[in-house]
A and B are shown apart, each in its own frame.
Chain A
Amino acid sequence: MAAASPRPSVTASIASPRRSVTPGRLGLAFVLPSVIIFCLFLMVPVFAVAGIAFLEWAGFRIGDWTFVGLAKFQKAAADPVFWRSFTHTILFTVATTVLLNITGFLYALLIASRVRGSGLVKSVLFLPVLLSPVIVALMWTRILDAFGAVNQLISLVSPTARPTLFLGDPDLALTSVIVATVWQFTGYNMLLYYAGLQNLPRDQLEAASIDGAGARASIRHVVVPGLYPVIGTAILLNVIGGLRVFDLVYVMTRGGPNRSTEVLATYMYEQAFKFSDMGYASAIALVIVALSVGAAVLRIRWGSRLHE
């Protein structure tokens, strides 16, 4: 300890007038810069977005707005494109959450068995997690286009087939975006589950094996129950990530073709920054918030039921 703080001498601290500063005051001073930035750029905007949703406002000048009450929410309720974005968001969220938890859990289990090559596989699966979704989106746009890898493979099998336009076909575009997302984030769930497996109590697993439980039985009765907290966390993070998806969709398809991949975030972006309808865009943003908060509340309820 003395080695860690060689400079400040006893005389300095006695002579220092700062002695009068209480730890509490100092704590406040330490905390204040973070609190100010946080309030200014996160707290104030959260309250503001709830207010703007009740305004007719183009966003150009503050005060240059009219109060329209619930009109923007009524507009959303009657807007088929809003409902399509809503449905796509839910579809995307459910599909990616289910798939990522299956692939993530499967690979975590297999890698935890420490067979030859599992370390390499872990790194390879995790690498895409670190890439910007923009990079992933641009890669998959090329892979899925008329001259992309998938069409090259199809033409190997049937040389006369016409190229499939995965991102240009309203029936295939959303699935394509889901595939790219699962490719990018399987490693994320794998890592979460792998970390969870490392923390499982060893003695329980051993007790199960002494009782003669096979691998399948011990996965079902020891591993999965032991992973409940991790499963909850993984699902919540996937759901929240799915509800706010923007980058992959916007770069790959711009919400098209014909709105077939439009999600809440891309539709909100369009309303705000293409059509300057800040009120309507804020109402859509509130829907994203409400869905995220709802997911978190469900998670907390589920978590507390498990502890009873």
Chain B
Amino acid sequence: MLHIYCPHCAEYREEEEFHCAGQAHIARPLDPEACSDEEWGEYLFFRKNPRGLHHELWVHAAGCRKFFNLTRDTQSYEIKEVYMIGEQPSVVAGSVQQTTASGAKS
């Protein structure tokens, strides 16, 4: 079971209280009518399935019922960071190698 920090409740809770809502940071095309079929199809159906860091959208379904973002390593299941909707992740695929190379905590 994952032990997940809810940034709204400011507390760690068990995974069973949460629900993963898939990949984060998917921007809806501003003008859907102007999209090509391929662009619209990419937006609707195609998702990343990385081996390594993944930015996900989670909801504290049994708690405060609010959404938040979470960066997780799909290999080790380690949760790298939790951040609010609208914020950008500070831990991204390239940055981890840099910080570990310099010995800083990621």
A and B associate in one complex: no
